[in-house]
Each structure stands twice: as C-alpha cells, then as structure tokens.
Structure 1
Amino acid sequence: MRIMISADMEGATGVTWTGDVVPGTEQWQRFRRLFTADVNACVTGLEAGGAKQVVVNEAHSSQRNLLLEDLHHSARLLTGRHKPLSMMQGIDSEVDGVVFLGYHTGAGARGVLSHTYLENSITGVWLDGVHASEGRLNAALAAEHGVPVLLVTGDDLTCADAAGYAPDAVTVAVKECVSRYAAVCLPPAVTSSHITEASLSSMSLAGRTAQSVAPHRIEIEFDATHLADAAAIVPTVEQVGERRVGFDAASMTEAMKAFKVVTHIAAAAIEDLYG
C-alpha cells in the first residue's frame, strides 16, 4: 500500500495565529517542530496499519516547513512550490489513500485560521454550488483519481466539515476552535498518540476505486471588486457578480489547475493595506 499525506500547517497541533505559520518568524520555527511531529505520528500509524510507502506532500505557504532532518525515516518528502497540483501533487501516482493532515475550514466559515488558498481576500468558494473548503476541493480531486480520503486532522470544525465531503474518513481534532485566532489545544504528546491510533485504524479504508471523471464548476467570491476584475481576464473565467467569478472545467484536475491560476492572479492584484 502506498499512502500520500497532504500536510497543511494551520490545523497542526497548537497553531492558533498568523505568527505560528508565517515562514521566518520565531513562532514558525517553534511550530515547524510540532507540525513535523504530527506528520511523524501519522506515518507511524500508517506504517503499523500496513502502508509500505508514505509520501508527504508539503502543502503550506512556501511548502518548505517540515524539518527533513527530523522526519520519520520511512517517509519520503515532496517539498517546494510550483507543483502542478499544489496541495495534491502526487494524487495521480497510483496511491491507495490520502491523509489530509493539519487542515482547516474554508473561507467565510468559522474555524482556526479559516481560509481557502488566499489568507484573507477570498470570502467564499463553491464547488458545484456547495460551499467548499480546501478539504472539499481536494477530496473531489482525490475521488476523480479513485483515491479515498483516509484521515483528516485539524480543529473540531475542520473535522465536522470533513463529515460532509469524506463521511467515511477517520478524524482527529487536535484543538477546539474558540475563534479564528484562539483554540483550546491538546499537548503534543496527546495529539501524537491520537493521530497514530487514528492513522492505523484508517488504513482499513485504503484501496483504490474506479476513477470518475466529470465536469465541475467553481465559483470564487473576493472581498473587493478589483480582485474579481483581475481574475476575470483568465480565459474561460466569467464575472458573475461584482466580487464573484466562476468557471467550468471538464474534470476536477482541470478545475483545480484553473483555480490555482485564478488565485495567483488575484493575489498579484492585492495592494498593501487596502487589499
């Protein structure tokens, strides 16, 4: 069995605010260790459950946050940016299951550091008319390649969100959301134990299913009109409201590639304090 971990940082043990996840800060250096510990706990459980190979795809910001020197010896690390499928790079390489580790809720939803790709300029994303977090988008991409979501870790609201897009997946809440920047957190020793146990049990869900390619529509709402204007210059993207754009794609793979382009262009149009 070959398993992939898509590892984000906002939903890692103890993370509650911007400084914890912004590369270069003192707090980020501290939470890199906790993030790596979450991943190692997951690899330990997956291996105990029968995984023969675990590939960890860094999915946060610079995608250079995990400490390779401290990584579980059985894991392989895909690190660095500009991957065609971003958070889900490798999902098309015949993996038998995927773990969403350190995930968070989507833009416009309650949850610790909730957002969808852009930290504070997207107010909502919809996949086929359903409000979508990164987890929902990535689960749809995994399903297209016949890969089940085995486990989701993050805050309690992230786990509740996962029930809507991966109802069979095991979940681990490493913290309880109080606000976007506050949570009741469990100590690393406790979360590591919970993640290992959950990873082991989640291996019962591993196993590829038939691929299912279908058309999808994504709509994105921004907090300012000029961001929608900028995104709408992308061919196939239409402006459907003053702050909202949408596009159709023949598959989820193509939809996510287009989504990546749209968010990159919108990010480039953000200007200092005024956004």
Structure 2
Amino acid sequence: MISADMEGVTGVTCPADVRPGTEQWQRFRRLFTGDVNACVAGLAAGGAEDVLINEAHNDNRNLVLEELDDRARMLTGYHKPLSMMQGIDSDVDGVVFLGYHTGAGEEGVLAHTYLENSITGVFLDGVRASEGRLNAALAAEYGVPVLLVTGDDLTCEDAAKYAPAARLVAVKESVSRYAAICATPQRTAEQIKSAAEAAMDLAGPVEPDRRPHRIEVEFDAAQLAAACAVIPTVERVDVRRVGFDAASMTDAMKCFKVVTYVASKATEEIYG
C-alpha cells in the first residue's frame, strides 16, 4: 500500500504547487504521478503483486489516473474513515509513505499536520507528531511495517525516528518552508524505484502494537480549542490546546479527524 501525499514530492516547494486548480498544480500533479509510478515499479520489481495507492492530498484528486502504472489500483476521493491510511488492515504486507513532509511547528518544506496553518503542534503520547508518525502508529496497530518514506531531508530525519527500519529517499533538501534544493525527476525516479525494490525485503506482518493512545492538538488561536472542546471525549487542556484519550490508534485517528474538521470550520478567513 502507498499512502501518497504531495508536499514531499519531487520539486514541490510552495503552496501553489499543491493547491488544486493552479497552473503550478497542473504541472506538479504529473511529477506527483511520476514519483508514485517509480514507487510502484520498484515494489513490483521487489515482488509486490498488488499495490493499492491511497491518494491522500487535499481533496484526494491529484494523481493523473490515466498516467498511472497499471500494476496499481488507486483509492481516490474524500470522506475516507481513516483518511490517509484508508485501506490499511492486517492483510497489508507493508506501507509506503510517499511525498510526506514534516509536522506542524517543525522546519521543513510546507511543514504542517493535516491543517496547513491553524495547528502549531500535534502530540502523540507526549511526542510531537508528524502525519508520518501518526500514520506509522496506526499501521503498527495492524502489524504492518513502514517500508519506505520519501520527502525532503528533514522528513527523512523524522521518519528515521518513528520507522527506523524503513528505507528513506530525500528528493530535495529543505532550505526553508518555501524553498528547497531539488533533484531532477529523472534522478528521484531512479532513487525511489531502487529504494522501493529494496524495501520489499521488509514486507510481511510484524507483531501488532495495540494499546491506548493520547493525542493533544495545539492551535494558533484560542477559539479553535474552544470549538473542538465541544466534541465528546475532547477536553480543553490549555487556552490553545485540546486533548483526548482513545482505546486504540484507529479510534484516536478517527477522533483526530473530527478535531481537524471542526477546527477548519471555526477558522475565519482574515483573523484565523
């Protein structure tokens, strides 16, 4: 399975590159498709027989289906219960985090966690968490290993902490949130394909990590915490922070999804 985000894709450095409808997005959605195809080719070369791509950026309609490697299937569209990880279950042999990025409050190209600019930090069991760390914990609950992570160099550093066995491909070197030194698509395709093929050595079930979890979310404005605190099980733990406990990572991610949705609707265009 490939969980495919866009901010960490080859060449992407600024919001217009990943915002649906812009001229830049039209260009970079094809680079996105190229990174995914390189990964599919590598996984297939390593022995994968079925590759499900979960299109996991924005409205989940960015990859160019007609240009995808036909050895893969694509899950697209929104309102997916497990969001970026829809499709994960105990029958999956491994997951790739492609085009990932660092988390809210961190350095890195287009760093954020779910919401582009309203969340300043997400903490899983007391540890600052990127989308990658959250999704790796969810995969672990089903006994599914993280095989490969691609993104900028800081994303790879982050991944080395939550998925130390995974292969890593840095397709660009972060200079700031909106700048990076980028390798060419030809070069990154070679690197992704090679790493994906090698990563298949890690495929196969691991011991599931099933346990309760706590997530806390810190916002940039007090009213967002107030809005989210009305959600059952969610408590306001500080003026700009909410938290909740969940019996499993699956339940935690479902609740987190609701928190981010409510926060997005409570954000005013000018004042935030």
- Give the match for residue 174 of structure 1: 171
SS at match of 2:270: helix
The one-letter amino acid paired with 1:206 is A
Distance in 2 (CA, whole Å) between partners of 1:212 and 1:120 is: 31
- The question of 1:152 aligning with 2:149 is answered yes
Of 231, 234, 238 in structure 2, the residue corresponding to residue 237 of structure 1 is 234
Provide Cα deviations, 1:24-69, integer angstroms capped at 9, x if missing partner: 0000000000000000000000000000000000000010000000
Distance in 2 (CA, whole Å) between partners of 1:125 and 1:62 is: 22
Of 227, 245, 249 in structure 2, the residue corresponding to residue 248 of structure 1 is 245
SS at match of 1:209: coil
Distance in 1 (CA, whole Å) between partners of 2:78 and 2:16 is: 20
Provide Cα deviations, 1:217-259, integer angstroms capped at 9, x if missing partner: 0000000000000010000000000000000000000000000
Distance in 2 (CA, whole Å) between partners of 1:212 and 1:14 is: 35
- Give the match for residue 33 of structure 2: 36
User: Any unmatched runs of 5+ in structure 1?
Assistant: none
Q: Structure 1 vs Structure 2: percent identity of aligned residues?
A: 72
* TM-score, with length taken from structure 2: 0.99
Name the CA shift for 1:211/1:93 in 2 (closer, same or farther; >3 Å): closer
User: Any unmatched runs of 5+ in structure 2?
Assistant: none
Does the aligned pair in 1 maintain the 2:16–2:24 contact within 8 Å?
Answer: yes
The one-letter amino acid paired with 1:79 is T
Q: How many residues align?
A: 272
* TM-score, with length taken from structure 1: 0.98
Distance in 2 (CA, whole Å) between partners of 1:73 and 1:245 is: 43
- Superposed, 1:201-212 pairs within 5 Å as 201-212=198-209
Of 111, 114, 117 in structure 2, the residue corresponding to residue 114 of structure 1 is 111
Shift of 1:93: 5.7
Distance in 1 (CA, whole Å) between partners of 2:23 and 2:91 is: 38
Distance in 2 (CA, whole Å) between partners of 1:241 and 1:210 is: 36
Shift of 1:211: 2.3
Provide Cα deviations, 1:116-138, integer angstroms capped at 9, x if missing partner: 00000000000000000000000
Q: Pairwise CA RMSD of aligned residues? A: 0.6
- The question of 1:227 aligning with 2:214 is answered no
- Give the match for residue 105 of structure 1: 102
Distance in 2 (CA, whole Å) between partners of 1:95 and 1:33 is: 27
- The question of 1:127 aligning with 2:158 is answered no
- The question of 1:9 aligning with 2:18 is answered no
- Superposed, 1:56-75 pairs within 5 Å as 56-75=53-72
Structure 1 segments, 4+ long, off by >6 Å, are none
SS at match of 1:273: coil
